[in-house]
Structure 1
């Protein structure tokens, strides 16, 4: 019995090796799990469920097969695919979760999230995030013609990459106080998230109790997952 967690695959047509690795992961690992949780940035970009990109249909079909095989899949939006909606969720069989969710697995209460909301030192990003998560602005964007949305998304990605070059490593990592506040608010000793692309298991103390923050790695040159069982919580990297 195990539950698997992944994040930050950044799937796109330009990286077929990552897509192939993910499909193998679903067929060889996830199919044997009690559940799969995808903690955001499954895709490099998402401009709407109506995007006819063939990769999206391929991934939806693979996830649907996983669900039909008996492994439920849950999804938390990331900063790249926060517009992924109900139409894709229905096609893939995924269950959409709120940006922070507490689950219980094998006697452990675990807080799960993408992780970008913990990077509070990056005030410019947090302000940008507040803007793009505005409901009316999202509706306006999704009402634009597809070709316009593609251009806007490309411009935003280029701007983000340029801006991040001038940010320190520290400012783009999580804020320790934000981590502690989130875990205390939800009364948990375990937190699993992605976003920072810095895979590690961090130990901290909350109210004189040992707690852990597990950070998933990005799928750049290898896969990354967290496997939770009754006995352990393991951060595991593996070849595509």
Structure 2
């Protein structure tokens, strides 16, 4: 049975009693501090009235290591996160593009690291949060790469490279991934519904929130088991894409970013 069918150890995040709203975003793929997507994200983080913003992976197109966090683009992103963290709870779960985010970046940003998956307990609900890539079981080639890239040995070797070399490698990995996905079937690049239901059942959840697939929407996978897929963000696309999933005591809703 594939490893992804088994629910990994759960990290639990319990909402504070005074919280009124939790927001989820993912797959912004930020790469340019002067870009429209960065500007929209920065406005939202500085203006949202949510009590928590939980980022479920791929905030960055590539994060090449925390030792790059002082460079202009990375520093601008950390500043936005740190400003938001002074007013609300920011949670950060790594995705397949920014899995080299580490403790130094999170500390400077004032964010808490979210393990994948994380169980959110809020407003009388139990919600399973995941980036989503671990559940794409049909993409066997990617799952092999993911296991290798998350190993301590691979990370040590990658971080030993000069930052400029890491950026080149990151671009090569991104290009290879995009080419492979263009030829892949839709079922290959989506989460396995049976595995998703198995995870929710094991965690005692009726709802799952994930990103990664860039196919936003709500879907009942089985009776009493619903998934909420986050939108990617691209403000330069036609039409532009940017959406926030919000959870309150009244349930889930989809809203545009503030501003």
Structure 2 residue aligned with 1:67: 85
- Distance, in Å, in 2 between the alignment partners of 1:237 and 1:118 is 27
Structure 2 residue aligned with 1:99: 116
- Distance, in Å, in 1 between the alignment partners of 2:256 and 2:241 is 7
- Residue in structure 1 matching 2:171, options 154, 171, 174: 154
Q: Counterpart of 1:137 in 2: which secondary structure?
A: helix
Cα distance change on mapping 1:39 and 1:47 into 2, 3 Å: same
- Residue in structure 2 matching 1:213, options 227, 233, 256: 227
Q: Counterpart of 1:37 in 2: which secondary structure?
A: strand
Q: Structure 1: state its 5+ residue gaps.
A: none
Cα distance change on mapping 1:161 and 1:14 into 2, 3 Å: farther
- Distance, in Å, in 2 between the alignment partners of 1:57 and 1:124 is 34
Equivalences for 1:43-62 in 2 at 5 Å?
Answer: 43-51=60-68, 52-62=70-80
- Distance, in Å, in 2 between the alignment partners of 1:204 and 1:167 is 22
Q: Could you tell me how far 1:14 is from its partner in structure 2?
A: 7.6
- Residue in structure 1 matching 2:180, options 156, 159, 163: 163
Q: Could you tell me how far 1:225 is from its partner in structure 2?
A: 1.2
- Distance, in Å, in 1 between the alignment partners of 2:175 and 2:168 is 11
Maintained 8 Å contact 1:222/1:237: no
Equivalences for 1:59-138 in 2 at 5 Å?
Answer: 59-69=77-87, 71-138=88-155
Q: Could you tell me how far 1:27 is from its partner in structure 2?
A: 2.0
The TM-score with structure 1 as length reference comes to 0.93
Q: Counterpart of 1:223 in 2: which secondary structure?
A: coil
Cα distance change on mapping 1:142 and 1:100 into 2, 3 Å: same
Maintained 8 Å contact 1:44/1:81: yes
Q: How many matched pairs?
A: 234
